[in-house]
Structure 1
Amino acid sequence: MTFGQVLLVAVVAIPALGALATAAVPGDRAGRVVGTVAAALTLLATLPLVGGEHGWFGYGPRPAVQPWHQVDRQWVPGLDLRFHLGVDGISWPLVVLTALLTLLCCAYTLWRVPPGGGSGRALVALLLVVEVGILGTFLALDLVLFFLFFEVVLLPMYAVIAGWGGADRRRAARKFALYTLFGSVLLLVGVYVVVAAAGTADLVALTGGAG
């Protein structure tokens, strides 16, 4: 694997491992510190991903999307599903901003934990899981993988709202769950229609990048 491919995997893997470590470390403050360190490492991993041979917006000599860096591995061969991640000039700023905001949220818990449904350690672990889903959504170059990363965000986000939201947080969390569930069904139908019609879930191929 190239350095860029390693970084792409690390950007998703570090917050996932950080969430597990945060939940496993004994002590609330120690867990918050571990989670904040994981968020900081994630941000550092996103920064070197900038730039590529195809220019800032990832366009080569053809009008086709060409990611700066990408990793493409078979995931479920029987269903032709692939673990395909990539970054270009559109997704990179969003990835960096997500990593930065997550770091700021985790660092804030070192001084003050919002009142609500649990320890600061639990909140930081959930924020890191949310970060995994958001970063994966921005980096996914496979429609099925995109859908799965999108779904990863929902349950921890529901828990964050229900546990540490405002005065009417339970009602807000229920509405969030209902609206996102409806949106997920529509998204799944859309993914199925596109994949069935095109014969592939690969976004680079769908946009002409493989042609």
Structure 2
Amino acid sequence: MTQALTYALMLAFFRNEMGFGGNNGLTDFKDILGYSLQQDSTKIALFMVTGVALVMSYIVCRTVISSRLGRVSMAIRDTESRTRFMGYDVDGIKLWIFILSAVIAGIAGALYVPQVGIINPGEFAPLNSIEIVVWVALGGRATLFGAIVGALVINYAKSWFTVEFPEVWLFALGGLFVLSTMYFPKGLIGFVSEKIALLKKRSKPTQESDKEATA
């Protein structure tokens, strides 16, 4: 339903009579709060604000997950019907999480447009939602930090492919999703964590044997 509504909005905003620029979208952003977007100082300030917004969003999401609301949300994710039968307001909690994610997405969009200088209805395309799923799958499904890592890796790959091999990008995106599902089921963060745990496990017997030899 969410994807269908998004696609319907995309088709509506492509119509010139909507007043949002049709195919071209909204363009010619020159300043923000009186500061020129062409100045390096403004670009650096926007970049820093984006970094702060990312950190704050991470802290908020981490706080939510660590709270009772987060635990109930994970219970809804795993067994929605059982959580509902236990007396929790499943619909209200899902709505609250949806609104929180919408607020974070709105802040991200408000910071994205001044830095890019253009926004068109193509941003409503369902492909963008699919890319977010790949971010999480590649970075790590069970971690918040994994989604950040996945976003950085995928967007860097997208920037490179769209310049060097634009016609290959969609195939590369699908390939990344398939490979991450097959060979990195816990994502890059999970893979690195497993390797670190394995190294610690291997080094522990060595440390114990050294202690015994010293004794």
Q: Give the TM-score normalised by structure 1.
A: 0.31
Higher helix fraction: Structure 1 or Structure 2? Answer: 2
Structure index of larger Rg: 2
Which of the pair is proportionally richer in strand? 1
TM-score of the aligned structures, taking structure 2 as reference length: 0.31
